[in-house]
């Protein structure tokens, strides 16, 4: 089996970048379509449309309805047949980006990803997370290539809610934990090939950056300041975590995250990274990692206000029926618990969640 490392063709990050982005877009053609949701259209999209138009591009737009499902993707494709778009601009959060990648792949046109938050590592990858229309996790879709261009405007991102940056930090911190698990297990990355040393190094460097600069970047975000620390964390959340997870591999943390799609309640109000914070801790318990490592993560997550126990996820740690539903979904075929060094059972997942809860109760009450 070969080793495989992939990346977007070009990644550009900087303050007020969108004001200078016309020439980047025009390398793919002069007819562009902006895919975004209603909120981002009002906040950023409409003015960006006008700016690109003033630079000589022909721009159309379609409003995304909120779920990266096959039905929604097909609806957008049907609407796009009425345009002459040469390039798709996916402007917004993770689900807009995931849907955009699926659409661009099916239509065989270039995609430019423009994240408006640093909450996920979706922008750089050749992977989409697809859901059922009711929001339950369905599958990961893999494409022939990564995005053609990723534009990260840190002036837009610093004005996003601080909660989104914190969620991205949690998602980024899962990258090193999962990549190490895949590496030690001689597993495969998201692309089904062996991870490279480079991917593991990026995943671990992502972890270093987030532990070093995470708290400062959050404070800078609160004050709407684009600083070196903020730029570093945005890069770690989006680029380093994106390269690290895709080419390094996913394991229990993201499998367990997907398991939560089987239940309803408070968890449905949490962002992707907020759920991943909790499931990363569960992975560390499953792996019986040293207490010092577990404590290091809990300490930072606690300072950031992320979920560290069942209560934070809206769960009763004694409700084994509900925990069992999560475990069953986590173990579904094609998911990443198979990347763990040994076979993990439903009972072990439930016990690991409960053990984490007891540890937090005893040490962080």
Q: Say which of 121, 148, 220, 257 is annotated catalytic.
A: 257
Whether residue 254 lies in the annotated active site: yes
Beta bridge partners of 130: 139
Whether residue 186 lies in the annotated active site: no
Q: Say which of 98, 171, 220, 357 is annotated catalytic.
A: 171
Q: How many CA atoms lie within 13 A of 170 on its CB side?
A: 32
Q: From residue 111, how far is each of 38, 50, 91, 106 by CA, in Å?
A: 20, 20, 11, 11
The CA distance from 299 to 290, in Å, is 14
The encoded tokens of residue 189 equal 């990355």
By DSSP bridging, strand 137-142 and strand 127-131 are: antiparallel
Q: Say which of 220, 254, 335, 357 is annotated catalytic.
A: 254
Q: Say which of 98, 105, 153, 272 is annotated catalytic.
A: 272
The CA distance from 62 to 312, in Å, is 36
Give which of 353, 345, 163 is closest to 257, Cα–Cα: 353
* SS3 (DSSP) at 7: coil
The set of residues, in sequence order, having a beta carbon less than 8 Å from that of 204 and lying 6+ positions away, is: 176, 179, 180
Contact 39, 65 (CB under 8 A): no
Q: From residue 172, how far is each of 74, 190, 243, 253 by CA, in Å?
A: 31, 16, 11, 11
Contact 233, 117 (CB under 8 A): no
Which residue bears the tokens 């661009």? 104
Active site residues: 171, 254, 257, 272
């Amino acid at each position: 089996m070969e080793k495989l490392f992939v990346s977007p063709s070009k990644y550009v990050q900087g303050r007020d970048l969108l004001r200078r982005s016309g020439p980047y877009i025009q390398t793919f053609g002069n007819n562009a379509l902006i895919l975004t949701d209603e909120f981002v259209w009002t906040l950023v999209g409409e003015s960006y449309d006008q700016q690109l138009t003033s630079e000589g591009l022909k721009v159309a737009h379609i409003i995304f309805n909120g779920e990266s499902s096959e039905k929604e993707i097909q609806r957008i494709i049907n609407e796009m047949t009425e345009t002459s778009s040469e390039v798709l601009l996916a402007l917004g959060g993770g689900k807009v980006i995931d849907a955009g990648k699926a659409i661009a792949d099916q239509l065989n046109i270039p995609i430019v990803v423009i994240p408006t938050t640093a909450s996920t590592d979706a922008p750089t990858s050749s992977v989409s997370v697809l859901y059922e229309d009711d929001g339950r996790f369905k599958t990961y879709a893999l494409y022939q290539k990564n995005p053609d261009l990723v534009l990260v405007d840190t002036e837009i991102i610093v004005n996003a809610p601080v909660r989104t940056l914190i969620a991205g930090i949690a998602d980024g911190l899962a990258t090193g934990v999962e990549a190490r698990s895949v590496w030690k297990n001689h597993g495969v990355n998201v692309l089904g090939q062996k991870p490279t040393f480079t991917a593991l190094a990026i995943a671990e460097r992502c972890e270093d950056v987030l532990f070093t600069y995470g708290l400062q970047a959050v404070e800078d975000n609160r004050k709407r300041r684009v600083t070196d620390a903020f730029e570093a964390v945005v890069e770690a959340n989006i680029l380093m975590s994106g390269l690290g997870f895709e080419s390094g591999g996913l394991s229990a943390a993201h499998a367990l995250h997907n398991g939560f799609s089987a239940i309803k309640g408070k968890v449905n109000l949490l962002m992707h990274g907020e759920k991943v914070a909790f499931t990363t801790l569960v992975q560390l318990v499953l792996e019986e990692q040293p207490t010092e490592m577990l404590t290091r993560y809990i300490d930072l997550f606690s300072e950031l206000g992320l979920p560290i126990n069942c209560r934070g996820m809206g769960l009763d740690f004694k409700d084994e029926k509900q925990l069992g539903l999560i475990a069953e979904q986590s173990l579904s075929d094609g998911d990443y618990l198979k990347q763990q060094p040994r076979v993990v059972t439903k009972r072990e997942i439930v016990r690991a969640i409960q053990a984490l809860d007891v540890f937090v109760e005893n040490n962080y009450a």
